[in-house]
Structure 1
């Protein structure tokens, strides 16, 4: 198995796990923010879509943000790094649109990364980042980042009264 194929498997496995959890969250709970928390499921999913776009398509595959039309521009304000999850915002997408957006980005990322040769994986992955320097590390971080946020989704589900199981 090539290194690219192995990294693609990590990205797929992380998303499969996330989607299995989301399949059992009613739409009405996506923007509920428990008193114990500071976030909601919709922000987690929007953030994952925005981050995967930036990590895989921009940093690793070298696309410019302007040429990527997979997400509305305001998603950066709603879900990007440093954004603040809010329960009320007239720009908030419905859960089905958020999932579709995350699916579009994920499919595009898998397709773009699958075109890479293993020889480029040790090249720098854009500007400095605390968690990685190379394209290989950026792809691995993308999968780990997703699982970090999936853990938050699990906690939110529990706080909203859902069982821990998928």
Structure 2
């Protein structure tokens, strides 16, 4: 398997796992924060969307004229690096819009990657990032980010799964699942 195909496989594997978890989260629970300072599912999904857009699309191909059609500036601000979740659903796009952007970015990422050369993958990723130095590294980190997230002890999927379980009342807000 080529390096590119291995990276694409990693992205697809992470996404399949995330989708399995999301299937079990009621859309009415996407904005519920089980405890103060804890993210909600909508923010997690939006954040993973922005991460894939920035890491796997813009770092590989650079900014494109159609970027704003794919992910709005408002979406980037709500879910990008440094953003904070707010339990007020009215401040966010709908669950359907967040999910549509999540799906659209992933589909476009995979489509754009089909034409990337090994030479491009081996080239430096700019600007510098503490977790990788090449564009191939950016792709691998994209999949890891979706699984391993901001805090090493709490992957995005685990966080989504915990929100689902806490909201459903099967575990307490501080319990590990």
TM-score when scaled to structure 2? 0.85
Task: Encode CA deviations 1:21-71: one digit per residue, 9 max, x unaligned.
Answer: 101111110000002652100000001111111111100122x16531211
Displacement after TM superposition at 1:123 (Å) = 0.6
Aligned length: 163
Is 1:13 matched with 2:13? Answer: yes
Q: How does 1:79-158 map to 2 (within 5 A)?
A: 79-88=79-88, 90-148=90-148, 149-158=156-165
Contact 1:61–1:113, Cα closer than 8 Å, also in 2: no
Shift of 1:132: 1.0
State how far apart, in whole Å, the 1-side matches of 2:111 and 2:119 are. 17
Q: Deviations over 1:81-110 (max 9, x none)?
A: 000100115341111211111000000000
**Pairwise CA RMSD:** 1.8
- 2: CA distance between counterparts of 1:71 and 1:13? 23
- Is 1:38 the counterpart of 2:38? The answer is yes
Structure 1 residues without counterparts, runs of 5 or longer: none
Q: Give the structure 1 partner of residue 47 of structure 2.
A: 47
Structure 1 residue 119, shift from structure 2 partner: 2.4
CA distance in 2, matches of 1:161, 1:83: 26
Matching residue of 1:27? 27
The question of whether the paired residues in 2 share the 8 Å contact of 1:60 and 1:126 is answered with no
In structure 2, the gaps of 5 or more residues are 149-155, 172-177
TM-score by length of 1: 0.91
SS at match of 1:84: coil
Greater strand percent: which structure?
A: 2
